[in-house]
């Protein structure tokens, strides 16, 4: 089997399309494994992985831990809120102390943009970025793109609109890179205040009318409004946001075509998406979560292949 062109998974920006293809092929194999009665392989019995979460997570944290256990790796978990970070310990000191316990791979979520890149230059371990501030969330984009391919047969030529708070979203940027590498056309749709000015330079279209965006697309990836990252008001009220940009059955009925509905979670039901859409047959939200385990198994397995053992 060939291997990844990168030594760490810091962002989709650093990957080639051949890396994505390799991750998807490997994930196909692991998806078959995790649907067997015995959902485990012994591949990483000699590998130790530390999951370092400096920001809250449900899906990513549990999915990485399950992926690691399915590969038979030894796993340690660290949550900043219950750690000596609260006593003033730095990121490098924290990680080097953890690495002294003979850790091979670090999975890290951190609120600061570039935290994974910084760590990869200062510590001797493979780094997987599980989300760095508003920058990148590479495994989310890989599982999203994989889920589109699974649902529609291919990503090439498909039209994908990313709806909502693009400005504060690491999912949006990683998705744009991954979808474009796979040959999709990408637009974003949301309030002008929540669309970064640089977005057009990435070859991404901008649409501020949700109905026009939905009429154009095959897939709508709906994002949460990240109130926790907002220090000023970006739109007048949540009600107005829902009326103008919320994805409801009523809006989809007006558009009148089949659209694959995605959401990375966590969902704010009734704000960016209504329950009758999130829980509908058009929604692949829980398939995304299921595919996350196979994708993360693939990424971890391929990076571990590069470690001399």
Which residues of this chain interact with ligand CP, rule CB under 6 A? Answer: 57-60, 131, 137, 140, 264-266
What is the closest distance, in whole angstroms, from the C-beta atom of residue 144 to ligand CP in the complex?
Answer: 9
Nearer to ligand CP, 51 or 182 (CB): 51
Nearest CB to ligand CP, comparing residues 19 and 132: 132
Nearer to ligand CP, 219 or 255 (CB): 219
Nearer to ligand CP, 43 or 288 (CB): 288
Closest approach, Cβ 56 to ligand CP, in A, equals 7
Q: Do 105 and 299 contact (CB within 8 A), yes or no?
A: no
Q: How far is the CB of 267 from ligand CP (least distance, A)?
A: 10
Residue 26 vs 140, nearer CB to ligand CP: 140
Ranges of beta strands (E only) in the chain are 48-53, 74-79, 105-110, 126-132, 159-163, 185-189, 205-207, 219-222, 260-262
C-beta contacts of 89-95 below 8 A and 24+ residues apart = 91/54, 91/115, 91/118, 91/119, 92/119, 92/122, 92/123, 94/52, 95/52, 95/119, 95/122, 95/123, 95/125
Shortest Å distance, C-beta 137 to ligand CP:
6
Min dist CB 142 to ligand CP, Å, is: 12
Contact present, 288 and 262 (Cβ < 8 Å):
yes
CB 197, min distance to ligand CP, A: 25
**Minimum distance between the CB of residue 99 and ligand CP, rounded to whole angstroms?**
24
User: Nearest residue to ligand CP, using CB?
Assistant: 60
Question: Would you say 55 or 218 has its CB closer to ligand CP?
Answer: 55
Whether the CB-CB separation of 196 and 237 falls below 8 Å is answered with: no
From residue 208, give the alpha-carbon distance in Å to each of 6, 17, 50, 195: 36, 30, 42, 10
Residue 197: strand, helix, or coil: helix
Comparing CB distances to ligand CP, the nearer of 43 and 145 is: 145
Burial class (CB in 10 A: 0-12, 13-18, 19+), 282: middle
Report which DSSP code applies to 177. Answer: H
Residue among 57 and 96 whose Cβ is closer to ligand CP: 57
Q: Starting at the earlier edge strand, list the strands of the sheet with 260-262.
A: 205-207, 185-189, 159-163, 219-222, 260-262
Smallest distance, ligand CP to C-beta of residue 289, A: 8
Buried/exposed 240-271: b ≥16 CB within 10 Å, e otherwise = ebbeebbbbeebbeebeeebbbbbbbeeeeeb
């Amino acid at each position: 089997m060939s291997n990844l062109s990168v030594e760490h998974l810091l962002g989709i920006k650093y990957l080639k399309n051949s890396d994505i293809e390799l991750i998807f092929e490997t994930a196909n194999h692991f998806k078959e494994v995790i649907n067997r009665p015995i959902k485990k392989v012994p591949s990483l019995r000699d590998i130790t992985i530390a999951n370092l979460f400096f920001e809250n997570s449900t899906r990513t944290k549990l999915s990485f831990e399950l992926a690691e256990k399915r590969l038979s790796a030894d796993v340690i978990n660290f949550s900043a809120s219950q750690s000596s970070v609260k006593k003033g310990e730095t990121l490098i000191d924290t990680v080097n102390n953890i690495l002294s316990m003979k850790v091979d791979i670090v999975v890290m979520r951190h609120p600061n943009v570039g935290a994974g890149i910084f760590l990869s230059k200062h510590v001797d371990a493979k780094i997987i970025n599980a989300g760095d501030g508003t920058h990148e969330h590479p495994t989310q984009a890989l599982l999203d793109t994989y889920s589109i391919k699974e649902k529609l047969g291919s990503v090439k030529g498909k039209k994908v609109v990313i709806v909502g708070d693009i400005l504060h979203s690491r999912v949006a940027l990683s998705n744009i890179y991954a979808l474009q590498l796979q040959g999709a056309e990408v637009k974003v749709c949301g309030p002008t205040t929540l669309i970064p000015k640089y977005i057009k330079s990435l070859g991404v279209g901008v649409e501020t009318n949700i109905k026009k965006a939905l009429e154009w697309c095959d897939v709508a990836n709906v994002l949460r409004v990240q109130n926790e990252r907002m220090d000023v008001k970006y739109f007048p009220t949540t009600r107005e946001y829902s009326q103008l940009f919320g994805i409801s059955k009523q809006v989809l009925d007006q558009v009148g075509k089949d659209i694959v509905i995605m959401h990375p979670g966590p969902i704010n039901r009734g704000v960016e998406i209504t329950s009758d859409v999130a829980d509908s047959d058009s929604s692949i939200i829980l398939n995304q979560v299921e595919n996350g385990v196979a994708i993360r198994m693939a990424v971890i397995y391929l990076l571990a292949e590069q470690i001399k053992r």
